[in-house]
């Protein structure tokens, strides 16, 4: 065994350990040293702790338990004791822990009076040294903490990046060993924002901002800046937030008119989230807790753009009140041009008045208007707009408000008018909303939920139009049917949602508020648009594109009520039927066959393809074997699940017929695959007709087939045999016969059973001799005929084999559909074939025949033979169980030869 060099390293003695810990010191942004806890853990392993305890003369009987105690939660305290050369004092800490479940390290930092169990001088040195080992560890959503002024913060970097309504904002970096903010970090360290409010604690702002954010944090709203946590330190309140990308004001200073978003649709889709955040503040409701809140300082500086969202921030002036108190608040303070006219009276010594939530609506309206101006005219447009709004109050005061005291601002009104004429439907709709939001009379402004709904409508309408255009482009030439299908699904959804029409000019009442479109719906639309845009890439993946479109359509549709989903599906089906003669050459059926809701859509596509092939046979096919549905009458559908009965007028004769169905599914929608399978039906019918005259095949004479569009199937017609009296005989299956003759006296005699087994084996041998696979042998597909319906026992020695609906030639290049998920068939299928691991081969037919012979010999159906216990999926286990539990029963009944053949 080869040992690494570390294996020979001796445990560090106390001096060495102390030195090693000292070398781990890191300086923070305030030039204070601390020892990161993650590094302490690395040094204070079991070997080093034990060695230090042993050197400190700790009794050997206490060595193991003390080491375990330290490793479980006292490493920091042990490091401090190492630092002051008081290692053995760890025993006193343990002795005085009061058998509490929390670790010793969780009690840090200690006041000196608490350390009464230590000598005074030792306790003093411990308290002095503890701070460098006790730097806090930050986690997400921690409750407010009051930190000692001696605390050494694990902030390794701090940069001033701005100021809020109250306080300064810094970008800070936390040491990787002192945070658990793994969702925020991109490396070892993590960068977050810290807002430092240097105001006496009695000030309302300190108390309220932390409280408001703590309350809002419970909602986990994606458009409200998350509060990681708060702490008081050196008479300052500190609020920690994730570091957002950029303020809206900073976006205005750049020349990207899309504000850092991908396109106009992305900008419009971000706006409802901002209104949603304001609504969450105005009408806070979480579990049984309700508040009325106001922000009081909405402006571009307090809105962040981050990861495709607009995030409301800076709640320094915000209030949260009990609903019984109402939302009235006297305007306190603030700077900027976005305050509502009722906040301060510029014309009368800036007198302040009571304000309500409607003041926030005004401010948001101002922000929305500036966004529109910027998207239309860029940075220069914003600067001009602000400059033109400049008004002078009194002799010295200038401002750039969106109002003229108690009157509307002519400049703002002119800009609104100009924007409404740009020819963009979404812009003109937004201008109408903004006019209502900037009403001088606060009572006429819409509530936040109405604003959210209107913005949602604009976003959905604009994005839906872009998606429609992209779909039109994608389906303009010769598109895959899958794309056509997803286009129609989307249009069906859009029709039902009404794309929806904004409430222009509507009366804004707090009653009967229509819920806005969900953020997930808007996000799904953007995802669909992104997928369609990706189709313009020459190397895009068709399969992945269709899968993404399907998934997005599923999300959109599943968000609707069940009746609406049904209406959408009906519209899709009708539209596809209108296109029933179009090409479907690239239908990816496996995407839809596995989705029960849209299996019928796939069938419609297959119906379209089969209809075309029936009307215009491909290649060398003729209509020789196609029959006229109108000539079929007296259809009896209730006799059997396996077949139906009827009469068919053919060449001046009327035949009693047995009808078997060849059902098709979404696979047949693919033009190439559908043609192959359609040709196979023609081949099957011709094959059955030719071999029916050979008695050893035990096949009914086949007349032909017809297309039944209502069943999504082809009906194959067989002529039923007649007796010498010209009376048609009535069929029954082997399965039904076994179940209906439980009385031993009514069962066939042994000679008939042997003849039946021989006939079935002979029939299969004949098929295989001309390289034809049956693929569907079961007790359901062996029929007998009696003179009347139950008047006498039928002769089982004369069976007829049916169920050729999926039979084919035994050739390597012959198309195969694989196993069908039909319970009747699954029971008789070979386990290997059922798993889809192998093409069908003659061996699988013989396996099915063996199960039928087992049923004949025991005169029980498979359910009765195998019981409720499921058969193994593994072939060898399956065969082993049959041989062990069931084959031995055949000997006494049918003899050794029959048993061995089975």
Residue 845's pLDDT band, with cuts at 50, 70 and 90, is very high
Sign of CA dihedral 440, 441, 443, 445: negative
**Sign of the C-alpha dihedral, residues 604, 605, 610, 616?**
positive
Percent of all residues in the chain with a pLDDT value above 70, rounded to a whole number:
81
Q: What is the pTM of this model?
A: 0.67
Q: What is the mean pLDDT of residues 437-466?
A: 94
Alpha-carbon distances of 529 from 60, 262, 375, 476, 591, rounded to whole Å: 72, 11, 20, 17, 20
Residue 9 pLDDT > 80: no
The residue with greater pLDDT, 619 or 84, is 84
Long-range contacts made by residues 246-250, C-beta under 8 angstroms, separation at least 24?
A: 246/304, 246/305, 246/306, 247/162, 247/300, 247/301, 247/302, 247/303, 247/304, 247/305, 248/300, 248/301, 248/303, 248/304, 248/305, 248/310, 248/367, 248/371, 249/299, 249/300, 249/301
Give the Cα-Cα-Cα angle 687, 602, 643 (nearest 5 degrees): 40
- Rg of the chain, C-alpha, whole Å: 41
Collapsing DSSP to helix, strand or coil, 473 comes out as helix
Say whether pLDDT at 334 is over 70: no
CA atoms within 13 A on the CB side of 684: 26
Pairwise CA distance, residues 549 & 138, whole Å: 42
Amino acid 505: pLDDT? 44
Looking at residue 641, what DSSP letter applies?
S
Q: Find the farthest-apart pair of alpha carbons in the chain and give their distance in angstroms, rounded.
A: 124
pLDDT band at 7 (very low <50, low <70, confident <90, very high): very low
Q: How many angstroms separate the CA atoms of 312 and 219, rounded?
A: 14
- The single residue listed with the structure tokens 């579990």 is 287
Look over the chain and give the mean of its residue pLDDT values, rounded to a whole number.
Answer: 83
Residue 303 is assigned to a structural domain of this protein: yes
Instruction: Say yes or no: 129 and 146 in one domain.
Output: no
User: Is there a domain that residue 572 lies in?
Assistant: no
Give dist(CA 172, CA 156) in Å, integer. 7
708 and 744 belong to one structural domain: no
- Predicted local confidence at residue 880, as pLDDT: 86
Domain count, the chain: 5
Range name among 148-162, 202-216, 467-481, 794-808 with the lowest pLDDT average? 202-216
Bridge-based pairing of strands 229-233 and 142-146 is parallel
Residue 445 pLDDT level (bands cut at 50, 70, 90): very high
Whether the per-residue pLDDT at 10 is higher than 60: the answer is: no
Q: Which of 77, 110, 133 is the last residue of a domain?
A: 133
**C-alpha torsion sign, points 416, 421, 422, 428:** positive
Among residues 250, 249, 147, 231, the alpha carbon closest in space to that of 192 is found at 231
Model confidence band, residue 569 (pLDDT cutoffs 50, 70, 90): confident
Three-state secondary structure along 290-359? EEEEECCCCCHHHEEEECCEEEECCCCCCEEECHHHCCCEECCCCCCCCCCCCCEECCCCCEECEECHHH
Write the CATH number for 795.
1.10.510.10
DSSP H or E segment with residue 289: strand 289-294
Tell which wins on pLDDT, 836 or 705. 705
Q: Mean pLDDT check: name the lowest of 269-283, 712-726, 779-793.
A: 779-793
How much is the pLDDT for 355?
74
- Structure token pair of residue 6: 């570390």
What is the tens place of the pLDDT at every residue in 867-884? Answer: 877 777 777 888 888 888
Domain-embedded: residue 623? yes
Q: Which domain holds residue 806?
A: 730-901
The dihedrals phi and psi of 407, each to the nearest 5 degrees, come to -130, 155
Mean pLDDT confidence for 394-403 = 78
pLDDT at 575: 73
Mean pLDDT value of segment 797-822 = 78
Tell me whether residue 475 is in a domain.
no
- Tell me: pLDDT of 773 over 80: yes
What confidence score (pLDDT) does residue 25 get?
A: 96
Mean pLDDT computed over 197-210: 59
Are 42 and 91 found together in one domain?
A: yes
Structure tokens at 825: 């068939």
CA distance 448 to 454: 10
User: How far, CA to CA in Å, does 185 sit from each of 143, 180, 194?
Assistant: 21, 9, 16
Q: Considering only residues 582 and 344, tell me which one the structure prediction assigns the higher pLDDT.
A: 344
Cβ 467 vs Cβ 528: under 8 Å: yes
User: Cα separation of 15 and 18, whole Å?
Assistant: 5
Q: What's residue 510's pLDDT?
A: 39
Tens digits of residue pLDDT in 33-82: 999 999 999 999 999 999 999 999 989 899 999 999 999 999 999 999 99
Euclidean distance between CA atoms 425 and 429, whole angstroms: 6
Q: Which of 163, 165, 289 is nearest to 219 (CA)?
A: 289
Give residue 204's pLDDT: 46
At residue 331, the pLDDT reads: 43
The residue out of 72, 107, 133 marking a domain boundary is 133
Give the end-to-end CA distance of the chain in Å, rounded to a whole number: 59
596-624 pLDDT tens trace: 445 555 555 565 555 555 555 544 455 67
| 57 and 157 in a common domain | no
Whether residue 170 is found in the same domain as residue 87: no
334 lies in some domain: yes
Note whether 712 and 736 are same-domain residues: no
Average pLDDT over residues 800-806: 90
Asked if residue 67 and residue 113 are part of one domain, the reply reads: yes
Q: Assess whether 607 and 745 both reside in one domain.
A: no
Average pLDDT (303-314) is: 92
Asked if residue 897 is part of any domain, the answer here is yes
Please determine, for residue 701, whether its predicted confidence score (pLDDT) is greater than 50.
yes
The per-type count for the chain, helices as H runs and strands as E runs, is: 30, 32
Domain membership of residue 485 (yes or no) is no
pLDDT computed for residue 384 by the predictor? 95
Q: Are residues 149 and 219 in the same domain?
A: yes
Q: What is the pLDDT of residue 456?
A: 94
Distance CA 402, CA 420 (A): 18
In this structure, is residue 519 part of a structural domain?
Answer: no
Q: The domain spanning residue 225 has which CATH number?
A: 3.30.200.20
For residue 506, the model assigns a pLDDT of 43
pLDDT in tens, 631-684: 998 888 766 777 899 999 977 788 899 999 888 766 665 566 667 767 778 888
User: Are both 797 and 843 inside the same structural domain?
Assistant: yes
Give 86-125 pLDDT, tens digit per residue: 999 999 999 998 888 889 999 999 999 999 999 999 999 9
Helix (H, G, I), strand (E, B) or coil at 713: strand
For 463, residues 6+ apart whose C-beta sits below 8 A from its C-beta are 265, 268, 269, 522, 525, 526, 529
Per mean pLDDT, which range of 142-151, 758-767, 874-883 is the poorest? 874-883
- Tokens describing residue 297: 């300082």
Q: Which residues pair with 809 in a beta bridge?
A: 772
Per-residue pLDDT of 500-533, as tens digits, reads: 555 444 444 434 445 678 899 999 999 999 999 9
pLDDT in tens, 741-761: 888 888 888 999 999 999 999
Distance CA 689, CA 682 (A): 11
Q: Are 397 and 430 in a shared domain?
A: yes
Q: Give the pLDDT band (50/70/90) at residue 349.
A: low
Last residue within a domain, chosen from 99, 133, 167: 133
Q: How many CB atoms lie within 10 A of CB 835?
A: 13
Give 158-224 as a DSSP string: EEEEEE-SSSEEEEEEE-GGGB--TTT-SSSSEEEEEEEE-S-TTSHHHHHHHHHHHHHHTTT-TTB
Q: Are residues 700 and 819 in the same domain?
A: no
């Amino acid at each position: 065994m080869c040992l690494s060099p570390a294996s020979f390293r001796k445990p560090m003695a106390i001096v060495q350990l102390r030195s090693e810990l000292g070398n781990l010191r890191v300086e923070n942004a305030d030039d204070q040293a601390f020892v990161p806890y993650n590094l302490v853990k690395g040094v204070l392993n079991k070997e080093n702790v034990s060695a230090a305890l042993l050197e400190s003369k700790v009794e050997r009987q206490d060595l193991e338990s003390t080491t375990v105690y330290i490793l479980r939660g006292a490493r920091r305290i042990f490091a401090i004791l190492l630092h002051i050369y008081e290692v053995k004092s760890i025993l006193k800490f343990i002795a005085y822990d009061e058998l509490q479940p929390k670790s010793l390290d969780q009690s840090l930092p200690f006041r000196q009076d608490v350390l009464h169990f230590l000598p005074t001088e030792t306790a003093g040195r411990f308290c002095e040294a503890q701070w460098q080992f006790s730097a806090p560890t930050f986690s997400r959503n921690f409750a407010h903490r009051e930190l000692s002024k001696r605390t050494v913060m694990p902030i390794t970097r701090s940069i001033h990046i701005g100021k809020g309504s109250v306080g300064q904002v810094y970008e800070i970096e936390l040491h990787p060993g002192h945070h658990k903010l793994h969702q925020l970090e991109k490396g070892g360290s993590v960068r977050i924002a810290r807002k430092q409010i240097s105001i006496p604690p009695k000030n309302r702002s300190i108390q309220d901002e932390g409280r408001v954010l703590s309350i809002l944090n419970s909602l986990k709203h994606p458009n409200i800046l998350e509060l990681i946590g708060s702490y008081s330190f050196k008479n300052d309140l500190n609020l920690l937030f994730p570091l957002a990308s950029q303020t809206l004001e900073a976006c205005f200073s750049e020349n990207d008119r899309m504000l850092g978003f991908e396109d106009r649709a992305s900008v419009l889709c971000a706006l409802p989230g901002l209104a949603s955040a304001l609504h969450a503040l105005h009408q806070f409701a979480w579990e049984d807790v309700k508040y009325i809140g106001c922000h009081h300082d909405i402006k571009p500086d307090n809105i962040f753009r981050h990861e495709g969202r607009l995030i409301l921030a800076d709640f320094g002036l915000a209030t949260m009140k009990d609903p019984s108190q109402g939302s009235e608040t006297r305007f306190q303070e603030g700077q900027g041009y976005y305050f509502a006219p009722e906040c301060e009276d510029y014309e009368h010594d800036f007198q302040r008045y009571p304000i309500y939530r409607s003041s926030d609506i005004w401010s948001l309206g101002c922000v929305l208007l500036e966004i529109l101006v910027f998207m239309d005219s860029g940075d220069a447009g914003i600067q001009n707009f602000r400059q033109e709004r400049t008004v002078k109050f009194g002799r010295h005061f200038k401002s750039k408000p969106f109002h003229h005291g108690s009157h509307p601002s002519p400049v703002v009104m002119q800009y609104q008018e100009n924007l409404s004429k740009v020819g963009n439907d979404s812009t003109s709709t937004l201008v109408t909303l903004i006019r209502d939001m900037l009403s001088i009379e606060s009572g006429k402004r819409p509530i936040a939920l109405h604003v959210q709904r209107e913005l949602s409508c604009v976003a959905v309408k604009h994005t839906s139009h872009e998606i429609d255009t992209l779909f039109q482009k994608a389906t303009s030439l010769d598109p895959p049917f899958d794309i056509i299908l997803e286009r129609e699904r989307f249009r069906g959804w859009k029709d039902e949602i009404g794309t929806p029409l904004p409430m222009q000019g509507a009366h804004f009442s707090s009653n009967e508020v229509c819920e806005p479109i969900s953020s997930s719906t808007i996000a799904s639309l953007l995802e669909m648009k992104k997928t369609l845009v990706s189709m313009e890439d020459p190397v895009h993946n068709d399969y992945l594109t269709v899968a993404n479109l399907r998934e997005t359509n599923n999300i959109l549709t599943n968000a609707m009520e069940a009746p609406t989903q049904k209406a959408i599906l009906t519209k899709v089906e009708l539209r596809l039927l209108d296109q029933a003669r179009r090409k479907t050459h690239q239908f990816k059926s496996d995407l839809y066959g596995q989705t029960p809701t849209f299996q019928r859509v796939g069938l419609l596509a297959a119906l379209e393809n089969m209809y075309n092939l029936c009307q215009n046979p491909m290649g060398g096919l003729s209509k020789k074997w196609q029959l006229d549905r109108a000539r079929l009458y007296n259809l009896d559908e209730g006799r059997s699940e396996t077949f139906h009965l009827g009469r068919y007028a053919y060449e001046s004769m009327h035949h009693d017929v047995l009808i078997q169905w060849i059902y098709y599914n979404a696979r047949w929608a693919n033009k190439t695959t559908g043609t192959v399978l359609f040709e196979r039906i023609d081949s099957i019918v011709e094959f059955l007709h030719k071999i029916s005259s050979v008695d050893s095949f035990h096949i009914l004479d086949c007349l032909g087939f017809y297309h039944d569009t209502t069943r999504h199937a082809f009906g194959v017609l067989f002529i039923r045999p007649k007796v010498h009296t010209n009376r048609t005989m009535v069929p029954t299956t082997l399965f039904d016969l076994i179940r209906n003759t439980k009385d031993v006296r009514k069962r066939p005699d042994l000679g008939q059973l042997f003849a039946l087994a021989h006939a079935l084996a002979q029939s299969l041998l004949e098929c295989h001799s001309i390289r034809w696979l049956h693929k569907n042998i079961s007790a359901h597909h062996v029929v007998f005929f009696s003179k009347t319906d139950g008047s006498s026992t039928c002769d089982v020695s004369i069976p007829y084999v049916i169920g050729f609906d999926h039979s084919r030639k035994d050739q390597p290049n012959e198309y195969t559909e694989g196993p069908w998920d039909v319970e009747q068939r699954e029971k008789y299928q070979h386990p290997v074939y059922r798993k889809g691991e192998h093409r069908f081969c003659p061996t699988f037919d013989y396996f099915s025949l063996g199960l039928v012979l087992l049923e004949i010999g025991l005169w029980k159906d498979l359910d009765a033979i195998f019981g409720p216990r499921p058969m193994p999926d593994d072939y060898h286990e399956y065969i082993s169980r049959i041989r062990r539990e069931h084959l031995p029963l055949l000997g006494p009944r049918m003899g050794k030869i029959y048993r061995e053949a089975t």
